[in-house]
Amino acid sequence: AHNYALALSQVSGLNLEQAEEDLHAIRDALRSDEKFSIFVQSPSISRATKRKAFTAALDGKVQKAVLSMCLILVERRRMRFLPEIFVSFRHIVDEILGRIYVDVLIAKNLNTEQAPLDDALKQAILDKIEKNRSAFGLHPTKKLNYTMSVKVNPELLAGISVRVADYIFDGTVARNLIHWHDVAAVHPLDVSKAFSD
């Protein structure tokens, strides 16, 4: 899957973001349309028939390189790998365009139902990440484009958790309680002695 995705990303003149959308649409069609999925994967239907159907359905609606790759997948009976190709292609495009996904968890809405965090708090989080790139394993000089998602999870009790790529900053009360529980398990506290001292 990675080899197909990499080859597609290196096509000259390809609009990467549009190709990503094209692959996403084809993948969703395979997932949601059972007849289409059976048609594509059925060994009893000739490859020539599948190529003709794909060309009729996608020509002019997706970029030529994306259609060509689909026709190659049909020819080699590899269409079942399209979901993995899409995921791999998205990772490649993320790297090329410097897209970074920031997932924020908070214990309660700090703004409104429509937006749990106001723009000033979002920007403060992004500024903190930008100033501490190395702590989050980010490229020190490359221009990065951040996309933030914010979710509310009351089980966190209070505080904030921020995930950037594979790195997590967890400043929630729930995490601190777990930490102190673990500390207490290793170093039990003699309460009576503590109060007498």
Share the mean pLDDT of the chain.
81
* Contact of 152 with 108, CB cutoff 8 Å: yes
Distances (CA, A) of 148 to 102, 103, 119, 125: 5, 6, 11, 10
pLDDT, tens digit (0-9, with 9 covering 90-100), for 95-121: 888 888 888 888 777 666 666 677 888
pLDDT, tens digit (0-9, with 9 covering 90-100), for 127-173: 888 888 888 888 888 888 888 888 888 776 777 788 887 787 776 65
Distances (CA, A) of 126 to 134, 154, 194: 14, 23, 43
**Of 151 and 10, the one with more pLDDT:** 10
Distances (CA, A) of 35 to 26, 50, 51: 14, 13, 16
pLDDT, tens digit (0-9, with 9 covering 90-100), for 61-84: 899 999 999 999 988 988 889 999
Beta-carbon neighbour count of residue 138 at 10 Å? Answer: 18
